[in-house]
Amino acid sequence: MSEPITGRVVIVTGAASGIGRAATERLLDGGGAVVAVDREAAALAWVDELGPGARVDTVVGDVTSAETNANAVARALERFGRLDAAVFNAGVSMSGDLLELPMEEFDRTIAVNVRAVALGIRSVVPALRAGGQGRIVVTASTSGLGGDPNLWAYNTAKGAVVNLVRAAAVDLGADGITVNAVCPGPTETAMTSRLQSLPVLHEELRRTIPLQRWGRPEEIAAVIAFLTSADASFITGAIVPVDGGVTANTGQFRPRPLAD
């Protein structure tokens, strides 16, 4: 086993692109080490471009599998000597009519967004306990704080994640392990690429955001990195909207538009 490195050792799921990749890069830039997890090796190829000196390793697998989560912990311990934090970011979004969306799609949404987080938490806790403390951050969504048209499956899953985070924070607090969630609003990622490609819908969403623009993955990653840090030592069970002000609005009226 190699000697522990200086800086945080963090598992990041859904690390191939979007918020997960941005979080991985942010943590590496801060002197940490990352075990990056995603479903396909090709999607993690960008890690190879970081060079042989990069303190990052990869695990390929489905996060709904207990084996994949166990492999990620084992890789962190074998490669870097310990585990300090985990960022459970992997997620999927399914849209469809409440009466027509196949239940198989609903089951998959729950599996990736909720089951995988529960499995992930269970897998990392022993290693975090061994270190005397730890940080767990989950990527939820503003869609977990309310309802959206035709996103009932995603709303259900992310709403469950929000309360899973709260319950885990209560259960793990005595171990010195904090558990928090970030709730991104409309953010420019691969998962939202379909919406971004529809100009009318993209503009409609932009107009609902008080800051009058979509978020960037690195802006979400900055909050994730903070919540994994020592500076966030007394924050747990928090649900943090990173949404440009979307959840500050009652929804009755649109925010004031950009000045001409």
Residues marked as catalytic: 154
Indicate if the alpha-carbon torsion angle 189, 158, 184, 46 is positive or negative: negative
| Cα 237 to Cα 51: distance, rounded to the nearest angstrom | 37
Indicate if the alpha-carbon torsion angle 17, 101, 183, 248 is positive or negative: positive
| Cα 208 to Cα 83: distance, rounded to the nearest angstrom | 40
Give the position of tokens 């709260």.
166
- For 65-80, b/e burial (b = at least 16 CB within 10 A) is eeebbbbbbebbbebb
Q: How many residues does the chain have?
A: 260
